[in-house]
Structure 1
Amino acid sequence: MKVPLLLSFLALGLNFPSLCEAGCPSNCHYNGKCNVRQSTCHCYEGFTGSDCNTACGCNGRGTCLKDNTCKCDEGWIYSGGQCIWDCHCSNGIVIVLMVSDIFTSYSLTIVADTSCLKQCIWDCHCSNGAKCIGPGECGCSQPCKYGDCRNGQCQCWNGYKGVECSQYDPTIMTNNGIKMGMNLGGISYYSSELKFVDIAKQSQEWITQRDGQNSWDTKEHDIIQWTTDGYPASLPDGMRVAKLVYRNFGVHEENGQYAILWDGDGEVSIKLTKYKILSNQKGRMVVELNHLNKGGVLLVVGNINPKNPLRNLRMIAPGYEQIYNRFPFHPVFLENLRRYSELRFMDFYATNGHGPEPTTWSSRYTDTFHTQAGKQGGALEHMIDLSNRLGTNPWFCIPHAADDDYITKFATMVRDKLRPDLKIYVEYSNEVWNGIFRQTKYTREQGMALKLDSRDFKAGLKYYNKRSTEMILLWNKVFGSNAKDRVFGVWAWQTGYQDYYRQAIEDLGTRVQTFRNIAITGYFDCSRVADKHAKELPQMNMTQIQQYCKAELPKKEAEFKHYMDMAKAHGVELAMYEGGPGVMESSAIAHFGQANKATTEKAIAFNKDIHMEESVMDVLKLWNKVVVNDPATKHGGFFNYFSYTSTPSKYGSWGMLEYTGQDPKTVAKFRGVQRFLTSIYSTVPRGPRCSFIKNSAMAYGCYNTAGKFDCGMTDDNGRTWNNFNVPERSPGDTLVLDGYNKKKDLVYIRVTDNLGANTYHVYNLKSQQWTSSTNFLYYTELADRDILPPQSNSNYLGLDSHFNC
């Protein structure tokens, strides 16, 4: 295929004249792109004519043929002059479905009596009598109460079972009773934590660019009128907006075919990376990206139709186009979070320096905003959704400048949308004692304005006590009689200065009873070895460094006991809001980034070394001994590790993982935490005890017999089974059947070891050959429309008669 000239310009990242300057007929009716040299239109697939004003009915879901009909994409049919999902009424009348986005925006054209709409049957050939929910994909016969539908089968959230995912059973949860939480990383275009399958959710804020100017950002945001979801309602002639994604993720990114989708009229292109356009339709472009680098990808938007402006721009990771709205979180991101009973959303919500001030409900980012990065933080809807899926208690950090209306509406949404079995931990901002954060200055300003004290640091302390108490009372009011069982207020102050902590809690006085937990940090820096021995550290071996970690343990135990006694004295429980290894030069944070390169490199190396595995376990065991095992600890006691994923630097090796997709078995910190969890919570399952898939007369499954897992197939409804010989497994491993491809005859089996780490295998039933897979590729293939997922827990159709399910 001859590559249009426009593609050459985009691939090189060059400027080009606007369509208005080029003078294309009727601006191509926004149904194509203008050839800037010839002033002629290159129509999107499915449109024809010199001005692209003639549509052959593909709707962005097919290719226009010479006879002006369409060859529709897989899962779509050509009917009534359009590419549609296969929808017919029982009286034979056709309903044409016009789709701008197949999961969020529908427009029905009724070719006959509108009463047909009530009788419409979505013809996906569903054996369960359900309607289709995507091209060629059957829905579920009953609504999934606590789960999501996938190819006719409810996929239950962690802890729920039954055909409709309506039965709660904590014993099947992979985090049941575990006293270990996790701090999630922030959302940014350069983050190494890939949270969403829609990559655009982690994009940069818009920059502005002009034709004929070489400036990266002309900073003309103020002259643009923006929609409530953060898209330009129109653009001046010659201006474009752009934003980066995937910056610095480099070799960890997924190569393959990305679907770039949008609603409305506008022109979308990409820059900064090599690519190949595989499909160029209106509202949908499929590009092959096989040479991603650290520079990232630049999404560029221009030539917007002010009458129908471009919006809802998405960039879907390879394979997830059909399911991204039902399963928005990347499965590789999810898989190593399943053992934690609590998630702290401090960085996810951009708590440090959260804006604007004051923070009102109307100023927040919703889940439809053009990005989830920025000072407003990720949407509350996403935090609730993630907690629901994983069955993790959310820990919310309310913005420091949030007004009462914001707090009340925040709590109301949580009450209405969070699953009923979860507890809610609520904290006012984060570390308001810490002078490096805006919230500290804010609380001091507010405290001084209210004349709470003549000294600004004491005024800030008193304002923190005042506002955090008011916040919890507002939450309790929203939850009413359920607040006692569900709302757990958290109060926290500076751990390292015990007398300062004492002063703060004394000022709180009887208000301490408003809270259920007081919280501290649990960092260990190995006796400040990187500070006190910065010059010697590069020459030390790992065993020598670990001795400093061992020497610190008595001090950590005394600290934990001190705060545990304080909690009991005030009738509250102790929790940890952040903890983990902190071996780095503190001057990197405290003094404008000053650090010694050789010291930094050795500190990073120690954080990766096998000795760190034992050091992590040592501190976790101390916390468990002093806090978790104390009879006074019932609802508190979480050790909140900081943090899930981040790139090591002179500012610290805070991430348990360095990047999403890293093999956790190779990470010392991960092994230390997981070994601890396995040793303390040995009876908590690491996956389902059984997983089955029924396909007509055949069925496939992984099952537990006498504590041992096997996988196999049956053609007689489970009376006899032919076992597979699953590779790379050890005694005690959990085997999970994740899917069956009904067209390719492939079975997908995941092996989870005693640390919760996975290996991935695909079995070809025709050739009887096994293939090992990578985590990204495995889940990409599982997103295919032809995948049948496992039955929900307890809905085994009698296939479990021989097994301990």
Structure 2
Amino acid sequence: MLRKLLKIVLILALLLFLVQIGLHLYRTWQDKLEVPLTPPVSTFSMGKMASQVSLLGINTNEISYNDASLPFVDLFRSANPFQENVLRLKAESVTYDANGWPNNLNGGEAGTRFLGELPADALPAGEYTVLYDGEGEIRYGNDAKLITHSPGRDTITLEAGVNARLDASLVIADSNPEDYVRNIRILPPGGICQHNPLKRVMDASACAGDAGMYLSFADHYAEIVFNPDYLDFMKDFQAIRFMPMSGITRNPEAHWQDRPSMAEATWGGTYGARGAPLEIMVELANRLQKDAWFNLPHAADDDYVREYATYVRDHLNPELKIYLEYSNEIWNTNFNHGEYTQKKGIEMALGLNAADVGYEYYTIRAREIFTMWEQVFGGRERFVRVLGGWDTRPDFAEKVLSYNDTYQAVDALAIAPYFGGNIKGYREAETVEDIFHLTTAPDSYRSLPEVLEKVQRHAQLAQQFGVTLLGYEGGQGLVDWATRKPDQHPNPLFFAANRDPRMGKLYTEFLEGWQQAGGQLMMLFSAPRICQWYGCWGLKEHIRQPREQAPKYAAVLAFIATHPPHPVPAPPKPAHNPLAIAPRNPNDPLIVWRPAVDPERVFFIENPITLDLLLEGTVWDKRNLFGKWQGRWDDDFLFLTVRVYDSKRVFDSAHPADDDSVGFLIDTDNSRDAKLDGKHDFHLIFACDREQVVLGKDSAPLSAGALRSIRFDMREFYDGYVLEAWIPWQALGMNPAIKDRVSVNVEVNDDDDGGTRDGKIAWMAQDKQALTDPRQWGVVLFSGR
């Protein structure tokens, strides 16, 4: 019996020994990877870090070499992909592996930037370790200088030049295709103490004399992952919005296999390329014990949505709250999300108005996503269903909450209240005092009082619809998008205002106003960023900037300390749509025509009217079939301006309506009959290849002299053309006066391949017969100012 027991013990000991060898070999293999293929697991304690309970959250930044928040301990995580060739090297023949590493230079070079335009103090001084696998040579540039080299390991310094900014690059100058240079990691000096991952230390002596508690960045980067300065900044906020870090903006990815992966060479880059893996975002929320706000890509298919939900369900701390939002700012025409939702709405035949069907598709897809997450989670207790709003447009919130009673399927309406938008006034400003005056004057566009008024309106809407009001972004918004350099006026004044103690006071007033209006969680924008021509958005200008030098950040921390949240239960859902809108009176004016008092600006499009109702064709594209228009008037003329976006101009048909052309329809007596009456209803067609206007079918007749009196100019642009027309009232038999009304419509005909036209859009329509039915046209009021 004893022999059998000894034999069993020996077998078990042998098996345990083999398991330990296997684990050792696995870890050795895994250490050779750039980062672990599985999410990093914390091997150190977060200590006694207090978890903030606050009304305030924070937005992350896009991953880029000039991201001053520096979220990762490995600086190369934020480098641009080699394929983008930001250094403009001879790289035409370079090939890359599946993760973006150059696997054959083919006589060229491959390089990238990993730091750019950062303040000198954003990173600690000292020697940085560069680790890499493979055989080859790495050359360093800008402020990165090589100190020592050995196979697979370099030592460099990073010291800002005379411009006091850190810029750093590297070039793979030589690489063995059989064992190419890859898995580059750039690691700062020092490390952390295992019991305090929020504090950077330079050596083991700082860890209470216990050398075993010291984790150097160079040896433990794979488990440390995050810059301790970054963790220390993020710890003070209740929630983290990952929209920028995940690379949502202009991101075309639709399939789960296309998402950012842990093994990619870098996570930085331009639109569509950058983005952190979901594993990293979940790990950050878990380590800091912060609620997580996730945005799903606009084109994500159902499999993507379900896989995303499954990972979050299985890996995010179940005690943390989840905020779930479909895409980001689909109303914002600067992003392709808006065009995508509009196209999908048109494909689904939701209507003719591209903007409205885009909003409708947004609500449809958001509800589908919410339903899929509920199925994956087995309920919706863990997440908040967020519908994005438009801070200056309460009517947008009304539309999306009302459409098919969407308010019944969401928990929160989120807006982004930014104060400071009086661009004309800012351009005329001469001092920082002027900037603050415009930012606080009640009658100034997007001033703080005006923004808080819009917050109050949205809070009332949220209450009526039984949802919570959140802020997905918010703060100051001093930026002039027409500039391209930081020293261009008014940018220096904007930067000075952001650095002024008065800005901290405005943040306090803003946040108090938000809370008093009933707003709940506000996700401030954003983590530390440099001030550039595109704005000074960060609460700090770099991650290591002292609190006393960052008035916005200081004000936010003071607010958190003095304003504990008062969670308000979501109001009950109304049984019926609380804002069911009565049909519009068809005789009410939709727009006004203002007098043309400035001869030099009669054709200047100001607050243009959109042309995007698809009457003919099946494919709609803002670059090929889109327009804007405007009318001005005086005693003698109607001044008509139409800006058309068209990728190709065609004019080869006998009738101009089959070519690229603009049609203008006017019912001069505002009778609004069911069809053109042949007396007072005119249809004027302006064609690109004609010198004289052409009358459309069933138009009231015009004499040869009247036709010749209508002058117009069609100027071609790289992306379309502009119509400017002088239409004499005498030709139309009109003598307009202030407060008169007419019915009007505008059409754009599009031909892409010769023959008959391929598409048609218009201003006003309920159905495809709109241009022959004046009842559907828009009513215009003649204004005296």
TM-score by length of 2: 0.60
Q: Percent identity?
A: 26
Distance, in Å, in 2 between the alignment partners of 1:290 and 1:597 is 28
Pick one of 349, 353, 363 that aligns with 2:250: 353
For residues 294-320 of structure 1, give each alpha carbon's deviation from its aligned partner in whole angstroms, at most 9, with x where no partner exists.
472222225434444433211112221
Distance, in Å, in 2 between the alignment partners of 1:330 and 1:402 is 30
Pick one of 171, 176, 181 that aligns with 1:300: 171
SS at match of 2:417: strand
One-letter identity of the residue aligned with 1:317: P
Contact 1:529 1:548 in 2 (8 A): no
SS at match of 1:397: strand
Pick one of 42, 50, 53 that aligns with 1:148: 42
Pick one of 479, 484, 490 that aligns with 2:377: 479
Distance, in Å, in 1 between the alignment partners of 2:432 and 2:167 is 37
One-letter identity of the residue aligned with 2:398: R
Pick one of 69, 74, 90 that aligns with 1:198: 74
For residues 268-321 of structure 1, give each alpha carbon's deviation from its aligned partner in whole angstroms, at most 9, with x where no partner exists.
33233462433x332222233445674722222254344444332111122211
Aligned to 1:600: 491
**Displacement, 1:418?**
1.0
Contact 1:193 1:645 in 2 (8 A): yes
**Displacement, 1:117?**
4.5
One-letter identity of the residue aligned with 1:228: A
* Structure 1 residues 239 and 295, CA gap change in structure 2 (3 angstroms): farther
* Structure 1 residues 553 and 200, CA gap change in structure 2 (3 angstroms): closer
**Displacement, 1:503?**
2.1
One-letter identity of the residue aligned with 1:195: P
Instruction: Specify the structure having the higher radius of gyration (Cα).
Output: 2
**Displacement, 1:546?**
6.6
Contact 1:546 1:611 in 2 (8 A): no
Pick one of 238, 241, 249 that aligns with 2:118: 249
1:397 aligns with 2:295: yes
Contact 1:262 1:284 in 2 (8 A): yes
Pick one of 388, 402, 416 that aligns with 1:506: 402
Distance, in Å, in 2 between the alignment partners of 1:539 and 1:201 is 38
**Displacement, 1:621?**
0.7
Contact 2:132 2:185 in 1 (8 A): yes
1:563 aligns with 2:439: no
Contact 2:132 2:182 in 1 (8 A): yes
SS at match of 2:381: helix
Distance, in Å, in 1 between the alignment partners of 2:508 and 2:66 is 31
Give the 5 Å matches for 1:428-447.
Answer: 428-447=326-345
**Displacement, 1:354?**
0.9
Distance, in Å, in 2 between the alignment partners of 1:202 and 1:539 is 34
One-letter identity of the residue aligned with 2:416: T
**Displacement, 1:331?**
0.9
**Displacement, 1:561?**
2.6
Distance, in Å, in 2 between the alignment partners of 1:132 and 1:302 is 28
**Displacement, 1:618?**
0.6
Distance, in Å, in 2 between the alignment partners of 1:603 and 1:559 is 23
SS at match of 1:324: helix
SS at match of 2:529: coil
Aligned to 1:648: 531
1:453 aligns with 2:351: yes
Contact 2:82 2:112 in 1 (8 A): yes
One-letter identity of the residue aligned with 1:174: S
For residues 784-805 of structure 1, give each alpha carbon's deviation from its aligned partner in whole angstroms, at most 9, with x where no partner exists.
xxxxxxxxxxxxxxxxxxxxxx
Aligned-CA RMSD value: 3.5
Aligned to 1:659: 542
**Displacement, 1:599?**
2.8
Distance, in Å, in 1 between the alignment partners of 2:321 and 2:303 is 22
Aligned to 1:380: 278
One-letter identity of the residue aligned with 1:486: R
Aligned to 2:185: 314
* Structure 1 residues 658 and 217, CA gap change in structure 2 (3 angstroms): same
One-letter identity of the residue aligned with 1:323: H
Distance, in Å, in 2 between the alignment partners of 1:215 and 1:183 is 30
One-letter identity of the residue aligned with 1:156: M
* Structure 1 residues 408 and 289, CA gap change in structure 2 (3 angstroms): same
* Runs of 5+ unmatched residues, structure 1: 1-112, 124-130, 136-144, 162-171, 629-636, 684-805
Give the 5 Å matches for 1:771-786.
Answer: none
For residues 37-83 of structure 1, give each alpha carbon's deviation from its aligned partner in whole angstroms, at most 9, with x where no partner exists.
xxxxxxxxxxxxxxxxxxxxxxxxxxxxxxxxxxxxxxxxxxxxxxx
One-letter identity of the residue aligned with 2:243: M
Distance, in Å, in 1 between the alignment partners of 2:336 and 2:435 is 38
* Structure 1 residues 232 and 506, CA gap change in structure 2 (3 angstroms): same
Aligned to 1:620: 511
Contact 2:414 2:470 in 1 (8 A): yes
For residues 516-567 of structure 1, give each alpha carbon's deviation from its aligned partner in whole angstroms, at most 9, with x where no partner exists.
1111122122xx4553353244273677567537995554443223222222
1:426 aligns with 2:324: yes
One-letter identity of the residue aligned with 2:424: D
* Runs of 5+ unmatched residues, structure 2: 1-13, 32-38, 191-216, 567-785
For residues 676-698 of structure 1, give each alpha carbon's deviation from its aligned partner in whole angstroms, at most 9, with x where no partner exists.
11111399xxxxxxxxxxxxxxx
Moved more, 609-618 or 438-447: 438-447
Distance, in Å, in 2 between the alignment partners of 1:426 and 1:504 is 16
Contact 1:245 1:297 in 2 (8 A): yes
Contact 1:332 1:661 in 2 (8 A): yes
Aligned to 2:88: 216
**Displacement, 1:594?**
10
For residues 596-637 of structure 1, give each alpha carbon's deviation from its aligned partner in whole angstroms, at most 9, with x where no partner exists.
944332222112111111111011111112215xxxxxxxx1
1:538 aligns with 2:431: yes
1:417 aligns with 2:315: yes
One-letter identity of the residue aligned with 1:239: G
Contact 1:530 1:599 in 2 (8 A): no
**Displacement, 1:510?**
2.5
Distance, in Å, in 1 between the alignment partners of 2:341 and 2:30 is 50
* Structure 1 residues 534 and 271, CA gap change in structure 2 (3 angstroms): closer
Distance, in Å, in 2 between the alignment partners of 1:288 and 1:592 is 34
Equivalent pairs counted in the alignment come to 511
Pick one of 259, 262, 268 that aligns with 2:138: 268
1:179 aligns with 2:55: yes
Distance, in Å, in 2 between the alignment partners of 1:420 and 1:608 is 40
Aligned to 2:717: none
**Displacement, 1:370?**
0.7
One-letter identity of the residue aligned with 1:569: Q
